[in-house]
Structure 1
Amino acid sequence: MTDEELVDALPKHELHVHLEGSMPPETLLALRHRHGLHTLPGDLDGIRDLYEFRDFDHFIRTYLAVVQALREEEDFELLARSALGLLADQVVRYAEVTWTPVLHADRGVPVEAVFAGLEAGRLAVEAEGGPVVRWVTDLPGHLGPDAAERTLDLVLGLGGGTPPPSVVGFGLGGPEVDRAPFAAAFARARAAGLRSLPHAGEVTGPESVRAALDHLGAERLGHGIAVAQDAALMAEVAERGVVVEVCPTSNLRTRVVASYEEHPLRRMLDAGVAVTINSDDPPMFGTTLREEHLVALRHLGLGPAELLACARTAATAGSAPPAVVERTLADLDALEAVAVRR
């Protein structure tokens, strides 16, 4: 079984992907023309050039500029249908997709319209045989703790005081500021039934991971690769079973790592850390979830058995319906019987 055959047969659960960052160039171009956004490039080549990032700060600036193209309920439905449709072509059974309510509410876009569009797109993709999708809401850290409380208010308001059934997690992304000031908002989110899913240890050191664990009650860590810089912390993360959502090409494109060869995923696995493989902002980084699994095999030192183990971790670490988890695990067992003997 070749690498491509293995990856194409692999049932996948995507746990770390941003909706706004998953906007295909064609969708952004359509929104540019729909709304007359002349500050954006007027052709596909120009849009693709926009996604060529110099570093993490440049990526954040571009990300925020792209968000400005989303203005009406129909825009969000178009985004959801186009982004989630890309997952359907990669044998993705389940996805937890992060969206950022405060970025839209602060521009005057009613969060009810945003969510209605997202739900319409989600349900349409699921009805067409695409992945089961659940939402994670987050906020950019540089907006501060007050924005975290506002984000949570917006989410709870959508469900009449509780999270809507399709919203399963609460996150913290963007520039990696101190996590401790967000403790109260995350405690409130957990009390409301949302899972704690913050980014940590992406562009800063292991202290960010420690803060996410101690102050935010993190169940999973977005990116989290800085754990490899602290052997004791890495051992603790492994012992506690905290899952790390690794996004290799994202780390390369934002210059967090200089090369695939320097990526710490291999060391994390060797230390017993539970790892999943994810795509983060795939069109912006010129990748797909399929490609990330090929990267793991070809550049990060994983063998078929380890790739299948990461897929099992992803299947059990999310909030997928039990029937989806059971089907995925059964298919992974059947695939392993073939793949490990190739």
Structure 2
Amino acid sequence: MTADSMDSFPYKVELHVHIDGAVRPKTLLQIASKRGITLPYLDEASLRKAICIKEPCTLQVLLKAFDEYMPILAGDKSALYRMAYEFCEDCANQGIRYVEARYSPHELANNSPEPEHALEPGNLTPTDVVATICEGLQRGSSDFAINAKSILCCMRHRPEWSMEVLDLCRRYRDNGVVGIDIAGEEYLVCSQQDGANSIHHQAFLDACKHDIHRTAHAGEVGSSPVVKEAMDQLKAERIGHGYLILDDKELYARAHQQGVHFEMCPISSIRTRAVGPDITKHPMLRFADDKMNYSINTDDPVIFTNTLLEDYQMALQAGLTRQQIITTIFNAAKSSFAPEKEKTQILNDLAKVYATSGDC
């Protein structure tokens, strides 16, 4: 039995999930065995113990969890295809009918002299990574009757990658790549106009010029000025997380007026201490009261051991009503980066599903 038949949210939309943070632990072990990679983990339970975060920690601990298993994936074409294909199956089993999965092409490649995560240099380029993941998502979308798109991430600490990420967004926009993101530890990247970090700025300005949709990790564990920079300098249409915008009343009001969408992740935000431990004081409650444009997402479900339904359930525990959660699903659809024709179909399907259940 699938989540479609077990929960009261039969049609879900997810905008903020890292595909490499959603890979199955069992798959990681099988890929490692196939590649001859020796791991300190004897079984799936010990691997989960090493990479899964169930108690509040820090963003740095989260990033370290990625480092534990990324070398298993990086540089292996068949592994990346399998990751993307199985991701679609997992979404279908949860009733997620439209999803935008994000990742850094460079972190999953191995063609650099000093690859970021790969075991050793090889010949799988960022272009190969994007082509492979697009292929896996397209096949998985077809086989499991969902609509899976992708967003390519720039990394704050690697500005030299950003223009290539932009180029890949342009080249693969007809293959399901719908936007550009910037991730990694939070700090301002547009303050050094003559320095390397200004490359990020130029990449996002060029993305805007070429009608490539833009989102940015900001205001998770950094500061409200990082959110302001994302909105004003990077021209972000959506903000990943964004909780700390509440520290700037003027910016918050402007985001409300402009309809900026916030991709909130309840379970993730508590586990990384982006917000306090009291779920009844989570920023999403203020957002709901003010009718801000926001959605509910999982972020990294293999690391946080969460499903989208569990994030909805946490939102209910926090004090949101079922109708407010349904509103966030519609918000996600409206603020998705899907082509307009597909977006219209998603919204029509949502209206039918929730009208049938008496919620519209």
TM-score, structure 1 as length reference: 0.90
Q: Alpha-carbon deviation of 1:40?
A: 4.7
Q: Secondary structure at the match of 2:14?
A: strand
Q: Alpha-carbon deviation of 1:173?
A: 0.8
Q: Secondary structure at the match of 1:59?
A: helix
| Structure 1 residue 61 corresponds to structure 2 residue 73 | no
Deviations 1:131-169 (A, max 9, x none): 2011100022122x322123223444x44xxx4441110
* Distance in 2 between residues matched to 1:8 and 1:27, nearest whole Å: 29
Q: List structure 1 segments (4+ residues) > 4 angstroms apart after TM superposition.
A: 4-7
Q: Which is bigger in relative contact order (C-alpha 8 A, separation at least 6)?
A: 1
* Distance in 2 between residues matched to 1:309 and 1:243, nearest whole Å: 13
Aligned to 2:165: 151
Aligned to 1:49: 49
Q: Alpha-carbon deviation of 1:49?
A: 0.9
* Distance in 2 between residues matched to 1:127 and 1:110, nearest whole Å: 26
Q: Secondary structure at the match of 2:225?
A: helix
| Structure 1 residue 36 corresponds to structure 2 residue 39 | no
Q: Alpha-carbon deviation of 1:114?
A: 1.8
* Distance in 1 between residues matched to 2:136 and 2:211, nearest whole Å: 24
Q: Residue type of the partner of 1:68?
A: P
Aligned to 2:188: 178
What does 1:1-342 correspond to in 2, within 5 Å?
A: 7-53=7-53, 54-70=57-73, 71-105=75-109, 106=112, 107=115, 108=122, 109-143=124-158, 145-156=159-170, 158-159=171-172, 163-180=173-190, 181=198, 182-259=200-277, 260-298=279-317, 300-320=318-338, 321=342, 322-335=344-357, 337=358, 339=359
* Distance in 1 between residues matched to 2:206 and 2:63, nearest whole Å: 27
Q: Secondary structure at the match of 2:94?
A: coil
Q: Alpha-carbon deviation of 1:74?
A: 0.7
Q: Contact conserved, 1:27 with 1:82, CA < 8 A, in 2?
A: no
Deviations 1:191-241 (A, max 9, x none): 233101111100112111111011011101001111122222222111110
* Distance in 2 between residues matched to 1:285 and 1:129, nearest whole Å: 24
Q: Residue type of the partner of 2:160?
A: D
* Distance in 2 between residues matched to 1:173 and 1:21, nearest whole Å: 13
Q: Alpha-carbon deviation of 1:65?
A: 3.5
* Contiguous gaps of at least 5 residues in structure 1: none
Q: Secondary structure at the match of 1:17?
A: strand
Q: Secondary structure at the match of 1:8?
A: coil
* Distance in 2 between residues matched to 1:75 and 1:116, nearest whole Å: 13
Query: Which deviates more, 47-56 or 182-191?
Result: 47-56
Aligned to 2:119: none
Q: Secondary structure at the match of 1:97?
A: strand
Q: Secondary structure at the match of 1:101?
A: coil
TM-score, structure 2 as length reference: 0.85
Q: Contact conserved, 1:202 with 1:224, CA < 8 A, in 2?
A: yes
Q: Secondary structure at the match of 1:9?
A: coil
Q: Contact conserved, 2:265 with 2:297, CA < 8 A, in 1?
A: yes
Q: Contact conserved, 2:52 with 2:302, CA < 8 A, in 1?
A: no
Q: Alpha-carbon deviation of 1:254?
A: 1.4
Q: Residue type of the partner of 2:142?
A: A
Q: Contact conserved, 1:228 with 1:268, CA < 8 A, in 2?
A: no
Q: Contact conserved, 2:51 with 2:68, CA < 8 A, in 1?
A: no
* Distance in 1 between residues matched to 2:316 and 2:5, nearest whole Å: 12
Matched length:
329
Q: Residue type of the partner of 1:201?
A: G
Q: Secondary structure at the match of 1:177?
A: coil
Q: Secondary structure at the match of 2:182?
A: coil
Q: Alpha-carbon deviation of 1:331?
A: 2.0
Q: Secondary structure at the match of 1:273?
A: coil
Q: Secondary structure at the match of 2:184?
A: coil
Change (3 A) 1:131 1:40: farther
* Distance in 2 between residues matched to 1:5 and 1:125, nearest whole Å: 20
Q: Contact conserved, 2:293 with 2:331, CA < 8 A, in 1?
A: yes
Q: Secondary structure at the match of 1:58?
A: helix
Q: Alpha-carbon deviation of 1:129?
A: 3.0
The two structures, once aligned, show a CA RMSD in angstroms of 2.1
Query: Which deviates more, 32-41 or 73-82?
Result: 32-41
* Distance in 1 between residues matched to 2:7 and 2:256, nearest whole Å: 26
